[in-house]
Amino acid sequence: MAYEEARPLTISRLGKQYHIDGGKVQALTEVNLEVGSGEFISIVGASGCGKSTLLRLIGGLEQISQGEIVLGDEPIRGPKVDRGMVFQEARLLPWLTVQQNITFGCRSGLPKAERERLVTEHIALVGLNGFEKAFPHQLSGGMQQRASIARALVNRPKVLLLDEPFGALDAFTRIQMQQEILRIWELEKTTMILVTHDIDEAIFLGDRVVVMSSRPGTIKKIVPVALPRPRDRSSYDFVQIRKDIYSEFFGEQQKPFAYAI
Amino acid sequence: MDAAELEIIDADRPAPVSLNFKRGGAWCRYYLLPLVVPALILLAWELLSRRGFIRPTILPAPSAIWLTFKDMAISGELFGHLKTSLVRVFQGFFLGAGLGIAAGILIGLSPTVERALVLVTGLLRPIPIIAWVPVLILWMGIDESSKVTVIAIGSFWPVLLSVIHGIRNTDRKYLEVARVLEKSRLVLLTKVVLPSALPSIFTGLRIGIGIAWMSVIGAELIAASSGIGYMIMYARELSQPDVMLVGVVSIGITGLVIDFALRKVESRLLKWNVNICG
């Protein structure tokens, strides 16, 4: 089945502040970003830079303070099934089986046969055949995250938002899941926005890597990754890009250390 | 669901904190050990009675109580009273627990309702159930309806509190998932909030039925013309300590069976809950 035509996502002059104990905390300021349809965007930043807030604003889980986010030609006002979301914890409902959880992901109003077909299709997509009747606590962390990805994709969203989805997995499973998400992306051509603190992961997956700074939380730099996939993490170009991004974070701190020697 | 289906990938699952039943020693410890202490107590009691250290008019020997129990079981007297009490308990419990669940959902979901009722519930809840018995007898007489109402009041409170507690403790992360998926309030309630509150609700139901069982005996002791409580009071007037003790012990056994049954239902319904064993 064809997707609804994917349209670009435009973020313009976005700002977000929180009120804490009477004071204001500016989490994001002046964020401008255009995401093409079918593009894979990675967002990296230190903790507290507002990268998760940005993702939650796109998801509609938080109220926008300034600026706007437009998906296609519709400004985002709240959560909607055209934006799927995968969280760091799989957040599967523990009382439902894998199959029931993915069915729970379906938008309401779908005919039963259509729903069943979509669910079966997406269980196969994430490679969970044979585990339909398992409860979440019977699955490993990686498998739970697969189920969670299937639940988010079952509505065929225009954009899939991934909030540090592999952050809680062990190193081996993480690399395996990165390849999985790449495979799914190439198959489904969904626009993906991935928030991570793992620079390697960001370069391995993204068409572009958005580097964010903290205080104020805003976009510091956008690094295009013009490398063919599958990418080799130890290739010269990959390492150069990694150095580039590292210096964005640690460049200033290394110099005085060097002088001290 | 059958076991084969559940054991798809048990390798990933943490080992349950229960005993390993395959080993004979552990099996004995699990099933036989609980019987040892009661057996010793009965033995000592029987020996002391036979040696004349315990006066049978105050505390008859276990063997004498057993004989009375057999007689009363055969004549149907015991089960007649037991049935009367049980019927009252179930009627009252279903009424009380049903109202408790309904009110709990309303209060749990709506801060307005909670605020509106905060004084009423705060004032009514600490009243011991027994204090209602004379009032209810005045209103309803000494037959069934006053007993059922007492039981309903008794089981209402723990169920109410556990439902509110369960609903309040729904993980915000799951609520967020439902928001992202644009679920309606009804779906949110039936698929997310209530299932997540279910373990807590079950704890409330178990406490509730325990209190219901105690309330019926209390109500029957004060004023009744049938039921286990009445049987005990009547036996006291006739100085039949063996009959009284048959009544008292039957209350304990019945309570145990009810709790056991409810626990079975719970582990069946909540098989997703990793914190429940067996």
pLDDT (tens digit per residue) in B106-141: 999 999 999 999 999 999 999 998 899 889 989 998
**What chain A residue is nearest to B195 in terms of C-alpha separation?**
A95
Go through chain B and tell me how many residues it has: 278
Pull the structure tokens for residue A93. Answer: 């409902």
The predicted pLDDT at position B22 comes to 56
Answer for the pair A216, A54: CB distance below 8 angstroms, yes or no. no
Q: What is the mean pLDDT of residues B236-264?
A: 92
pLDDT (tens digit per residue) in B53-100: 988 888 999 999 999 999 999 999 999 999 999 999 999 999 999 999
Domains of chain B: which residue ranges? 1-62, 76-269
Question: For all residues of chain B together, what is the average pLDDT?
Answer: 87
Minimal CA separation from B151 to chain A, in Å: 32
Q: What is the CATH number of domain B76-269?
A: 1.10.3720.10
The predicted pLDDT at position A95 comes to 94
Sheet of A9-20: strand order equals A23-35, A9-20, A66-71, A74-75
- For chain A, say whether B53 makes contact (Cβ under 8 Å): no
Give the list of residues 6+ apart from residue B49 with CB closer than 8 angstroms, or none.
B56, B59, B60, B61, B62, B64
Residue B51 CB burial class (10 angstroms; 0-12, 13-18, ≥19): exposed
Go through chain A and tell me how many residues it has: 261
Residues of B in contact with A94 (CB under 8 A): 272-274
Q: What is the DSSP letter of A96?
A: S
Q: What is the number of alpha carbons within 13 Å of residue B66 lying toward its C-beta?
A: 5
What does R_g of chain B's alpha carbons equal in angstroms? Answer: 23
- For chain B, say whether A168 makes contact (Cβ under 8 Å): no
Pull the structure tokens for residue B247. Answer: 């009544």
ipTM over cut 0.95: no
pLDDT (tens digit per residue) in B27-51: 888 888 889 999 999 999 999 999 9
| Domains of chain A (ranges, CATH numbers) | 1-82+160-261 (3.40.50.300), 90-156 (no CATH)
Handedness of CA A103, A109, A112, A116 (dihedral sign): negative
Q: What is the mean pLDDT of residues A64-80?
A: 92
Tokens 């150095």, located at residue: A243
| Separation CA A205–CA A24 (nearest Å) | 35
The predicted pLDDT at position A24 comes to 87
The distance in angstroms from the start CA to the end CA of chain A is 62
Supply the pTM of this predicted model.
Answer: 0.80
- A201 has a pLDDT exceeding 80: yes
Name residues 61-100 of chain A within 8 A of B (Cβ).
Answer: 61, 79-81, 83-85, 87, 89, 91, 93-96
Minimal CA separation from A202 to chain B, in Å: 24
Q: What is the DSSP letter of A137?
A: G
Minimal CA separation from B68 to chain A, in Å: 49
